[in-house]
Amino acid sequence: MDIVILKDSEQVAVAGARALQDLLTKKPDAVLGLATGRTPLAMYRQLVAAYEKSSMSFRDATTFNLDEYLGIKPADPQSYRSYMQRELFDDIDIEMSNTHLPECVAGENPLDVGPRYEEEIRARGGIDLQVLGIGQNGHIGFNEPSSSLSSRTRVKTLTRETIANNREYFDDAASQPQLAITMGIATIMDANEILLLATGAEKAEAVRQSIEGPVSSMWPASILQMHERVTVLLDESAASALEKRDYYNWVQDQKRLLLAQIENS
Ligand code: PGA
């Protein structure tokens, strides 16, 4: 795992946006896996700013989001569809027909959404780069602890902890969904490359367990240890519980030196 410890959440946002920009420069028709929540907000702002002042384009790009609540309409301001429109899609030149969330459309059986979504991802050639946040309990997408490490897109019941963490977004507890449809852990692991962002001290334990603990469905993000191409962007607070942080910083120094040598040779 490429573990990059940055000074603050703004630097994490800048580095995350740069990774997406670099990919789109190399591959304008890239398939991006996107995340919602508090963590990627600043990265989307960076990306919109970069879009506005450069020639970058999302016209040929495709996106697949990790998850969507079940039981609220796409137009509901609290849906992840609305979040994506508001925070990114409305401000860039992406084709709406190229944006995907695991939404249960009117009349659709919720149990059919997962297999349909998997097929849509396959039909677009798979995900080039998947962006992830991490829950305080180590979830990725809404794959809560005890999720099968081989799971595919499906309906999941949220933990009480996750519901409490997202309670502030809903007017009243009764309107807050307890179910979601999420990409599975195996779906996420199929992405060619993964970018995990974590900021804030409340993520420190999940980050430590996922990077330095054993691979276990109790900390779903720990499966990323098995992926060949993962970059973890952390601010100082999220990295604060890592035992080997000095080593990770040293690895980054060595990497910079090696790249400079290669460039100068
Ligand atoms: P957050 O959520 O970015 O709002 O902390 C992350 C997650 O639950 O995956």
Active-site annotation holds for 68 = no
Q: What is the pLDDT of residues 87-124, one digit of tens each?
A: 999 999 999 999 999 999 999 999 999 999 999 999 99
Q: So what's the pLDDT on residue 24?
A: 97
Please identify every stretch of the chain with a pLDDT value under 70, giving residue numbers as ranges: none
Q: So what's the pLDDT on residue 69?
A: 97
Q: So what's the pLDDT on residue 153?
A: 98
Q: So what's the pLDDT on residue 150?
A: 98
Closest C-alpha residue for ligand 1 atom 2: 37
Active-site annotation holds for 193 = no
CA 220 to centroid of ligand 1, rounded, Å: 14
- Atom number, ligand 1, closest to the C-alpha of residue 39: 3
Q: So what's the pLDDT on residue 10?
A: 98
Q: So what's the pLDDT on residue 160?
A: 96
Q: So what's the pLDDT on residue 89?
A: 98
Q: Of 67, 87, 190, 235, which residue is the catalytic one?
A: 67
Q: Of 98, 128, 139, 235, which residue is the catalytic one?
A: 139
Cα distance between residue 10 and residue 13, in whole Å: 5
Predicted TM-score (pTM) above 0.95:
yes
Neighbours of 216 (CB within 10 A): 15
Closest C-alpha residue for ligand 1 atom 7: 135
Q: So what's the pLDDT on residue 223?
A: 98
Q: So what's the pLDDT on residue 237?
A: 98
Q: Which residues contact ligand 1 via a Cβ below 6 A? A: 37-39, 133-135, 139
Q: So what's the pLDDT on residue 139?
A: 98
